[in-house]
Amino acid sequence: MIDLKRLFGQLDKTLLRDWFASYGVELDINWQKLPKSRAGPQIFNAWSELSIEQQQLLEPDLLEVNTLAHERGVRGVIDSARAVSVNLIPELEKYESPASKILHVMLRHRHFWTSVCRFIELDILMTKRFWHTYPGLPAQPIKDLKTRTASLGSEVAAHFKLLDGTGRVHKISHHVRAEVVDYFFIDLSSHMERKSAVVDAKDIQLQSLWPTFDVVYVFDQTTGELSLMAKGGRAITESLRAKFCRCMFDMAPPPIDEEQPPYQLGSLLMGNNQLPIEPFDGISEVIVQSLRFRVVGQGKRRFLLEGDPERGPRDVYEMIKQMFREDVVTESNLRVAGVKFKFIFRPDSGVPKRSVTFEVSYPRTNSFKEKPETIREIIHRCLRRWGIESAPAADAAVDLAA
C-alpha cells in the first residue's frame, strides 16, 4: 500500500507538476500557492478528483518511486546511471528528499529507467537468503555470448517445465555492469492463478493470470565467481549451476566441499540487519567489529572497515555511510568478504568467558574452530539463524522435503 498523502508531501512540487504534465494530466490545483511543506493532503485531494483511468495510468510510476525512495535506492540509481555514462550527482543535489531524486531520474531519464529498476531490485535481493555463491569458474569473458545466453534460457525453462510444469514461457535478458560483471535475468511463467481484477476501470471480474518468477545469474569475469538466485533446495540450485557451467563454458561445475558450504555474507552489508538473539543463547550483545569488502570487477582487491568500540556495536555501518562516495564506489559494487564478530555473554549464561571474538570469511573460513564446544554451538546456532551458515546436511534434507 502507498501512503499517497505522505508521498506527495515528500515530492518537489515543480517536479511533480512536470510529471503530471508528461502524461497530459492536469490537477485542479494552484501549484504556486502550495505551501513548501505539508502540501500532501491538498495534492491528494486534487488527485482524488481524477478519473480512475487517469489514476491507473499514473499509479505504476508512483509505486516505483515509493519503492525506491530511500538512501539505498538513490545510490543504486546513481550507480546504474554511471554504467551508461550518465553522472546524476549534479542533477540530484538540489533535491532534499530521496523521493524527489527518484522521480527526477524517472522523468528526465526514461531511456534507462527500466534497467535501473532491475539492478536496484537485484541489489536488494542479493542480501536475501536465496542467493548462492560459487567460486571456481574460468576468470575470463564468455565467448559467443548471444548463442550461449539463448541456450541457457531454454535449458532453465526446460528444467522447470519437467520439474513442476512451470517455465512454459520464458524470457532471458543479459546486462553488463562495471564492464566485467555479467547479469542474466530469466523470467519464467508459473502456474495459472484465478484472481479478481478491475477490468477497463468499470467492472471487477475473475481473471486467469500467469504470474512469473525469476532465476538470476551473476558472473564476475575477474574472479570466476558465479552467484545464483533461485528459490528451492540444493537439488534445484545445483542443477541450475550445472546448466550455467555447461552452457557458458562447456564444462562440468567445479566440485564443492559438501561438508562445508560457502558462508553467505550478503545480508551483513545492510545496516538494518537485526542479527536476532534468543534468551537461551546467553548473549547480551552482538558487536560487528569490522567488515572486509571486495569491489565487484576489481579481482582479489580487498579493504577493511573497523568500527570504533566507543561509538557503539554498529559503528562500522556508520562508516559505510560516511566513507563511500557515489562517484567512487557504491554499496551495489560491494560484496562482504569477511566479518569480525564479538559476542558479549550474560553473567548467568554459563559460558566461562565474558566475551568471545571470531571471524568468518568467504567462502569457508572461520577462526572459531579451536573454541570450546559450548561456544562453537552458540556461534553455529546464531550464524544459521542469521542466514550466514547453511544448516547441517540432515536439517537441509528436512527443509528440502518440506
Q: Is the dihedral of CA 325, 316, 277, 262 positive or negative?
A: positive
- What is the number of structural domains in the chain? 3
Domain boundary (222, 249, 276) is at 249
Same domain, 275 and 352: yes
Same domain, 87 and 120: yes
Same domain, 275 and 397: yes
C-alpha cell at position 126:
542479493
Q: Residue 151 to residues 139, 329, 371: CA-CA distances in angstroms?
A: 21, 34, 48
User: Quick check: is 258 in a domain?
Assistant: no
Same domain, 318 and 377: yes
Backbone torsions φ then ψ of 357, nearest 5 degrees: -115, 135
Average pLDDT over residues 346-362: 88
Query: Which one is predicted more confidently, 390 or 311?
Result: 311
Count Cβ neighbours within 10 Å for each residue of 4-29 and write b for 16 or more, e otherwise. bbebbbbbbbebbbebbeeeeeebeb
Same domain, 394 and 281: yes
Domain boundary (91, 125, 159) is at 125
Do the Cβ atoms of 214 and 220 come closer than 8 Å?
no
| Residue-level length of the chain | 402
Same domain, 140 and 117: no
Residues spanned by the domain of 198: 131-249
Same domain, 318 and 383: yes
What residues have CB less than 8 Å from 38, skipping those under 6 apart?
9
User: Quick check: is 118 in a domain?
Assistant: yes
C-alpha cell at position 258:
559438501
**What pLDDT is attached to residue 82?**
74
**What pLDDT is attached to residue 330?**
63
Same domain, 37 and 90: yes
Same domain, 107 and 8: yes
Average pLDDT over residues 148-156: 97
At residue 13 the predicted structure's pLDDT band, cuts being 50, 70 and 90, is: very high
pLDDT at 83 exceeding the cut of 80: no
Cβ neighbours of 186 (radius 10 Å): 24
User: Quick check: is 259 in a domain?
Assistant: no
At residue 14 the predicted structure's pLDDT band, cuts being 50, 70 and 90, is: very high
Same domain, 181 and 55: no
**What pLDDT is attached to residue 396?**
38
Same domain, 121 and 238: no
pLDDT at 313 exceeding the cut of 50: yes
In a 10 Å sphere around its CB, with 0-12 CB exposed, 13-18 middle and 19+ buried, how is residue 316 labelled?
Answer: buried
pLDDT at 369 exceeding the cut of 80: no
Same domain, 108 and 137: no
Write out pLDDT tens, residues 272-307: 678 999 988 999 999 999 998 887 766 667 788 888
At residue 212 the predicted structure's pLDDT band, cuts being 50, 70 and 90, is: confident
User: Quick check: is 64 in a domain?
Assistant: yes
pLDDT at 402 exceeding the cut of 70: no
Global pTM value? 0.65
User: Quick check: is 338 in a domain?
Assistant: yes
User: Quick check: is 255 in a domain?
Assistant: no
Write out pLDDT tens, residues 25-82: 999 999 988 887 788 999 999 999 999 889 989 999 999 899 888 877 887 788 777 7
**What pLDDT is attached to residue 318?**
83
**What pLDDT is attached to residue 269?**
77
User: Quick check: is 393 in a domain?
Assistant: yes
User: Quick check: is 58 in a domain?
Assistant: yes
At residue 397 the predicted structure's pLDDT band, cuts being 50, 70 and 90, is: very low
Say how far apart CA 71 and CA 78 lie, in whole Å.
11
Domain boundary (56, 90, 125) is at 125
Percent of the chain with pLDDT over 90: 42
Helices H, strands E: what count in the chain?
Answer: 13, 12
**What pLDDT is attached to residue 253?**
94
Write out pLDDT tens, residues 106-126: 999 887 787 677 667 666 655
